[in-house]
Amino acid sequence: MKHSPLNLFILLIPLLHSLSHATATVDQAGLLTALRRAKMQSQGEHTFNEKWFDNMSFEVDEETTDRKMQDDLMKDGLPGQPFPVKFKQFAGYVSVDKSTGRSLFYYFTEAVENPASKPLILWLNGGPGCSSLGVGAMVEIGPFGVKSDGKSLYAREFAWNKVANVLYVESPAGVGFSYSNATSDYELSGDTRTAQDAYTFLLNWFARFPQYRTKDFYIIGESYAGFYIPELADVILKRNTDKKPFTKIQLKGIMVGNGIMNDATDNNGTFDYMWSHAMISDETYQGLLKFCTSPNFNRTKCDLVQFAVDEEVGTIDFYNIYGPVCSHSNASKKAKCAQDYDPCELSYVRNYLNLPRVQEILHANGTNIPYAWDACSEMVHSYWKDSPTSMFPIYKSLISSGLRILIYSGDMDAVVPVTSTRYSLNALKLDVKKPWHFWVDDLGEVGGYQIVYEGLTFSTVRGAGHEVPRVQPQRSLSLLKKFIAGQF
Amino acid sequence: MKHSPLNLFILLIPLLHSLSHATATVDQAGLLTALRRAKMQSQGEHTFNEKWFDNMSFEVDEETTDRKMQDDLMKDGLPGQPFPVKFKQFAGYVSVDKSTGRSLFYYFTEAVENPASKPLILWLNGGPGCSSLGVGAMVEIGPFGVKSDGKSLYAREFAWNKVANVLYVESPAGVGFSYSNATSDYELSGDTRTAQDAYTFLLNWFARFPQYRTKDFYIIGESYAGFYIPELADVILKRNTDKKPFTKIQLKGIMVGNGIMNDATDNNGTFDYMWSHAMISDETYQGLLKFCTSPNFNRTKCDLVQFAVDEEVGTIDFYNIYGPVCSHSNASKKAKCAQDYDPCELSYVRNYLNLPRVQEILHANGTNIPYAWDACSEMVHSYWKDSPTSMFPIYKSLISSGLRILIYSGDMDAVVPVTSTRYSLNALKLDVKKPWHFWVDDLGEVGGYQIVYEGLTFSTVRGAGHEVPRVQPQRSLSLLKKFIAGQF
């Protein structure tokens, strides 16, 4: 895979918008503009290289690990957490390159009940550059959320460790507490190195947590992890053929939520979504189709059209178009009855994870990272080296391997909207095994719609945004349970 | 206008779905099927007849009315209402045809403060056959809603009589408490007779409430009232040219919410909406486009496709696709945080309006109507005689008259969705005065999007369903205030 510097200043930064509160307009609209523009400008340049795997190297602690599982145990749990909790939590660093000191930070929550009988989930957020700890664990699926005081935690009713053991990794190095001692390492950030490091991380983590090596293993995440997840699965399946005990990972399936998949169809779906959801004018819609799609992409004219998108749409959350916006003075109050989450929660998370006591308990202190913990890293995405235009080649390979694949989509997201994923899956041209139908959640309500292809299932989650479990926690846990139970 | 019996068994019955609770699937999906099918089967047959007005006759109490305003006053307000309230309420019958005893029932709420300085609004629900009292006043914009006990009322925070005097008419005869002594009258139900009677009602009502004759007058409503409202406005403007004092009505503007407008574009927009909101499969979408649109409409094949729609979509509320459904056992509880309304409220309204004491206070007793009050009348819509395919001719006439026109659309409605209205307005080919832009509500949030044409404004209401004020009460009151203030 080529490593020429793309210098995509902003490639795809889901969740980053949540960081800024005073200037939500610029952030949200600006983000959409930036990510589409960057991807479109590079379109066709970065096709998938079948040999990408050959360029990877893995630094594995085959026999021993410098640190034991018990060393990472957080004996009293997280500071400010509600008591009592019945499950164990672990956190710490796993080295992925000793020469540069590159290490990934993880947080691991055992299942609430009988963890030995439960599968293991690796959760990955996107970006590139966003934290699975801060976003995934803290505002989406982890056992605790952070209260507005930035110090104390509340129990999340539909936490995913009610059905599985869940591992959150801040990936790649440069995100959250993950780091390298050689700052030049960050300049090599990209899809290839992310997959290589994530895989190395896994092998070393299993060495530290050997009893999880035999558990059914799932990789789940969202947004730009729509690339991370199939890429990591591809590496795992290829390495599994080595038939060495320490490289054998019991990967059973992947779930990808509102994930990018294939640039051209993802872009077209976004334009259609914005028009059909009455966000933009007819003229702007026509302009997007005319100037912002291949092969007639016109940078100057597309820039102007994207500017029109920003102007027209106004201050709404592109990631949840009917949801509350944090910047609004009473968003926090309104959230109680509009959609049941606090749009400002990520700012409480930032405060919490920067408390020295919290970092100490997480075993994240003492690394002397010269900047505060943040939910997304601009540095990482600004250096991003490689990002293919399509995941189709890897999906085809994964499907032929028999891996269980669930693509899901919250239908209130305008960033990687449900129309994009429908177009992408159509372009993938899979045979239909069970036609389009509704699926029913644990409450007996229509949870969304589903189509089962040969080797891949697509489910929408009705009334959910980009961060599906945040907006529809109960419904997304229903979906997870069904997937783990092998119901599709 | 021709009066051949169309016998459209079901033409357009928004809100009727709310009546049945045990069989919500059949109702909701069945309704969509029925209304689309009936309209499509009759397509092209019922074009607008320019001479429709010439066939009308008006029976006006020019000098006196048999009943005075004070006779209709509900001195102690409605049974079970919260005290104190500062405004007067009136209710009663107004004759529109003495020969057959045809009379329309109205409910009138004066503005909370200083009614003499406030405009007068006539609110009309659609159907055909649905009640402005039961739906409009009681679950959307009236001062009171009905509690789940079916006996007591609560105050509605964003009631429209906070900014205007509001008149609700059960129209046409056969709807709610409105009736005729000659049952054969019901067989003449249709657009023409509805407009004629509504106009006659207004003149006679003004004779009873003379101080409202000089107030700025607005007609507002939704759904099938997308036909009622421009039709009534057309009659008013034509009769205003008579220059007789008693026919002079100070009509200043109309507001139409999720209203039908033009069959072909309304239908196409609905198909697109269902696909882009992930409700139906690609195949069903293609089938709708192929067999359910003019000129290739194929009844048998379209029926099959409509059946597929029902099967695929499942039990959701077509009128508010992300909202709660009454039939679900815990809908009432969930509604507190999903969208802040009780989806079962219309059943409480039915219980309330059938209480003998309530009918007595409303001056609706003593008419010996041989059936219970219901929110929508199947009898009325089953006899529906005439319904044009398009409102464009009347809109063009109204626009040239200088009437202020606001079309608005809740963007979560799949029955007359925002895409339909966009297609319809495009087909109307008006000049753009102010291009597409967001509008800001009283909370400072993006209330939706707006385009100002020469003579007509279109506003979306973000996060609202078919019954816009029910789902987004605060936002819709913001929109009303801006319209009355002449801000667009």
CA pair distance B307, B314, nearest whole angstrom: 11
pLDDT confidence of B178, banded at 50, 70, 90? very high
Q: Which tokens sit at B64? A: 């006196």
Q: CB neighbours (10 Å) of residue B36?
A: 23
How many percent of chain A have pLDDT more than 90?
70
Sorting pLDDT into bands at 50, 70 and 90, what band is A14? Answer: very low
Higher per-residue pLDDT: B30 or B230: B230
The shortest CB-CB distance from A337 to any of B325, B337, B437 is to: B337
Q: Which of B284, B340, B446 sits opposite A316 (nearest CB)?
A: B446
| Out of B283, B419, B445, closest to residue A276 by CB | B419
CA dihedral A32, A36, A39, A43 (to 10 degrees): 180
- What is the C-alpha to C-alpha distance for residues B325 and A122, in angstroms, rounded to an integer? 35
**Residue A328 to residue B445, Cβ atoms within 8 A:** yes
> Scanning every residue of chain B, which has its alpha carbon at the shortest distance from the alpha carbon of A279?
B449
- Mean pLDDT of all residues belonging to chain A: 87
ipTM: 0.87
pLDDT for position B36: 56
Per-residue pLDDT band at B432 (split at 50, 70, 90) = very high
Tokens of A244: 């060495």
Q: Where are the alpha helices (DSSP H) in A384-460?
A: 392-401, 418-428
Q: What percent of chain B has pLDDT over 70?
A: 86
Which chain B residue's Cα is nearest to A463? B322
Q: With 70 as the cut, is the pLDDT of residue A113 above it?
A: yes
Residues B344-376 pLDDT 10s: 999 999 999 999 999 999 999 766 778 899 998
- DSSP character at residue A390: B
Is the pLDDT at B399 greater than 90? The verdict is yes
Chain B residues within an 8 Å CB radius of A329: 444
Q: Which of B234, B386, B413, B441 is catalytic?
A: B413
User: B19 pLDDT exceeds 50?
Assistant: no
Local confidence band at A107 (pLDDT 50, 70, 90 cut-offs): very high
Tell me how close the Cα of B164 comes to any Cα of chain A, in angstroms: 27
Residue in chain B nearest A336 by alpha carbon: B337
Weakest-pLDDT range from A228-237, A376-385, A452-461, B468-477: A376-385
Q: What is the pLDDT of residue B65?
A: 59
Q: What is the mean pLDDT of residues A206-211?
A: 94
| pLDDT given for residue B163 in this prediction | 97
For residue B9, is pLDDT > 60? no
Distance (Å) from the alpha carbon of A287 to chain B's nearest alpha carbon: 14
CB within 8 Å: B449 and A279: yes
Element (DSSP H or E) covering residue A232: helix A225-240
DSSP strands (E only) in A231-274 = 251-257
Chain centroid to Cα A18, Å, comes to 15
Residue of B273, B322, B471 to mutate for A, most A C-beta atoms under 10 A = B322
**pLDDT value for A296:** 84
A312 lies within 8 A of chain B by CB: yes
| Model confidence at B23: pLDDT above 50 | no
CA distance A208 to chain B (A): 43
Whether residue B328 and residue A276 make contact (CB cut-off 8 A), yes or no, is no
- Residue A342 at interface with chain B, using a CB cutoff of 8 Å: no
E strands, A46-188, in order: 89-97, 102-109, 120-124, 144-146, 153-155, 165-170
Q: Which of residues 288-307 of B touch A (CB under 8 A)?
A: none
What CATH number was assigned to the domain covering residues A52-263+388-484? Answer: 3.40.50.1820
User: Kind and range of the H or E element at B106?
Assistant: strand B102-109
State whether A276 and B280 contact (CB < 8 Å).
no
Angle at B224 between CA B221 and CA B228, to 5 degrees: 65
Residue of B nearest to A426 (CA): B282
Tens digit of each residue's pLDDT (9 = 90 or more) over B236-265: 999 999 878 778 899 999 999 999 999 999
Any idea which residues of A carry the catalytic annotation? 223, 413, 466
CB atoms within 10 A of CB B340: 16
Range with the largest mean pLDDT of A374-378, B33-37, B204-208: B204-208
Q: How far is B177 from chain A (nearest CA, A)?
A: 35
Closest alpha carbon to B405 in B228, B220, B261? B220
- Which residue is closest to A462 within chain B, CA to CA? B322
Q: Where are the domains of chain A?
A: 52-263+388-484
Domain B1-277+316-488 class, CATH top level: alpha beta
Lowest mean pLDDT among A273-277, B62-66, B460-464: B62-66
Residue A353: pLDDT over 90: yes
Identify the pLDDT of residue B295. Answer: 80
Interface of A with B in 315-334 (CB under 8 A): 315-316, 321-322, 325, 328-330, 334
- CA distances to A206, A208, B80, B103, B239 from A213, rounded to whole Å, are 6, 10, 66, 79, 84
Say what the pLDDT of residue B207 is. 92
Amino acid present at A94? V
Alpha-carbon distance of A135 to A145, in angstroms, equals: 10
- The continuous run of DSSP H or E covering B405 comes out as strand B404-410
Q: What is the pLDDT of residues B118-171, one digit of tens each?
A: 999 999 999 888 999 999 999 999 999 999 999 999 999 999 999 999 999 999
User: What is the rounded CA–CA span in Å between residue A189 and residue A195?
Assistant: 10
Q: Is the pLDDT of residue A274 over 80?
A: yes
Mean pLDDT, residues A109-132 taken together: 95
Nearest Cα neighbor of B40 from B329, B289, B293, B212 is B293
User: What are the C-alpha distances in Å from A87 to residues A76, A77, A90?
Assistant: 11, 9, 10
At A1 the pLDDT is: 36
Dist. CA B254–CA A217, nearest whole Å: 60
- Rounded distance, CA A44 to CA A118, Å? 42
Mean predicted lDDT score pLDDT of chain B: 87
Identity of the residue in A311, A315, A411 whose CB atom sits nearest the CB atom of B278: A411
How many Å lie between the alpha carbon of B405 and the closest alpha carbon of chain A?
20
Is the dihedral angle over the CA atoms A61, A123, A153, A23 positive or is it negative? positive
Per-residue model confidence (pLDDT) at position A367: 65
User: Is the distance from CB of A197 to CB of A104 less than 8 angstroms?
Assistant: yes
Distance CA A397, CA A400 (A): 5
In whole angstroms, how large is the CA radius of gyration of chain B? 21
Higher-scoring residue by pLDDT: A103, B37: A103
- What is the phi/psi pair of residue B139, to 5°? -115, -5
Q: How confident is the model at residue A329 (pLDDT cuts 50, 70, 90)?
A: low
pLDDT exceeds cutoff 70 at B8: no
How far does Cα A48 stand from its chain's mean position?
Answer: 20
